[in-house]
Amino acid sequence: MGCSCQELIDPKEVRLDEILSAYQGKRGVLIPVLQEAQEIYGYLSQEVLQKVSRKLRIPPAEVYGVATFYSQFRLNPMGRHIIQICLGTACHVRGGAKVLKAFEEKLGIKDGQTTSDGRFSLEIVACIGACGLAPVVSINGDVHGRLTSDIVGEIIEKYI
């Protein structure tokens, strides 16, 4: 009979364990460890934060404090549709902030947040290389250009 142990191995957990072992006992490693953990899982769950705290022997309050302080860290999974609003220079001067505000108001979330139904996540990004179409928004990688705040509702509808 074949061993089924392999089915139980979670490659993400193995990777996290490797990272934690590599950083164990070193100082000032919390932020890079959290960055790598987020790269693996896409966000930082309670379990991951607890594990980081345990393995690196850093008090849970400190780990949680750092994870909540820096906006680069996400404590919840990303939504099904990822809306990236460009606020690079070209988009900014052509009204990117108004477009951002329209998305925030329609969805009821801010940069780095996800709607409670898990449908949309909102992120502010720097130039995505489509300056000629500024202001632009990328949704799941599809670029929407020359946006105005009054068509934001229409765009969101397409992803519902």
Interacting residue ranges for ligand FES, rule: CB under 6 A: 86, 88-91, 127-131, 134, 136
Shortest distance, CB of residue 115 to ligand FES, whole angstroms? 24
Nearer to ligand FES, 21 or 89 (CB): 89
Please identify, using beta-carbon distances, which residue of 102 and 130 lies nearer to ligand FES.
Answer: 130
CB of 83 to ligand FES, least distance (A): 14
Number of Cβ within 10 Å of residue 103's Cβ equals 23
**How many Cβ atoms from other residues are within 10 Å of residue 58's Cβ?**
15
Question: Longest C-alpha distance within the chain, in Å?
Answer: 66
Dihedral angle, C-alpha 40, 45, 50, 52, nearest 10 °: 20
Which residue, 66 or 124, is less far from ligand FES as judged by CB? Answer: 124
Q: Are 34 and 44 in contact (CB under 8 A)?
A: yes
Q: Smallest distance, Å, CB 94 to ligand FES? A: 8
Neighbours of 138 (CB within 10 A): 19
Nearer to ligand FES, 75 or 125 (CB): 125
**Least distance between ligand FES and beta carbon 87 (Å):** 7
Angle at 27 between CA 23 and CA 29, to 5 degrees: 55
